Structure 1
């Protein structure tokens, strides 16, 4: 009879432990990919609302995180949800407005202002 159990094939728990480790690593990688996707989407929200370039969107997102003390991933989730719910916590909205104003001030000093019809909302 051919053993079909992984532990029986390996002669012990070492292979089973390795499989568990690989599965755990796969879960972590899946979570990281999802987290990066949400952050990328939030950057898209910021650059659309602010009429910014992608690199400036990253700066605004991290500035909002610093101003609020909320992690970048959580801020990203709030911003992505905001598109659907049209609701953003007051402190987050205040931090976003301040970070956008700061970025726009730098833009005004260095280049012609960028306008975006969505930002007028």
Structure 2
């Protein structure tokens, strides 16, 4: 009987871990796609695109995954929440203007 309870607890823990891993994979893909949008719109490098997303998240106090989802959908809906748009504009200006030009 005790072994059955241990097995059920182990199964429940594994199911929770699988759900968390699935969520992480989805979140990672969303962030990667948002980085692609930032790169396409600003010419930023992948590292700079990541920093821009992080900056926008920190300056708006919105979770990075939610920022990434807004930016990922932006080309389709052609609209960003105003707070996100302003923070994105500021982050791109700060990160892309101060970054050294390629080949210099």
Query: Do Structure 1 and Structure 2 share a fold, with TM-score over 0.5?
Result: yes
Residue aligned with 1:12, SS: helix
1:73 and 2:65 correspond: yes
Unmatched segments (≥5 aa) in structure 1: 1-6, 113-121
Cα distance in 1 between the residues matched to 2:97 and 2:88: 14
Deviation per CA, 1:28-86: give whole Å up to 9, x if none: 10001111110111111111111111011011111111111111111001111112211
Match of 1:37 among 29, 32, 41: 29
Cα distance in 1 between the residues matched to 2:73 and 2:31: 12
1:28 and 2:20 correspond: yes
> Quick check: which one's helix share is greater?
2
**TM-score normalised to structure 2 length:** 0.90
**TM-score normalised to structure 1 length:** 0.78
Q: CA deviation at 1:12?
A: 2.4
Q: CA deviation at 1:17?
A: 1.4
Q: CA RMSD in A?
A: 1.6
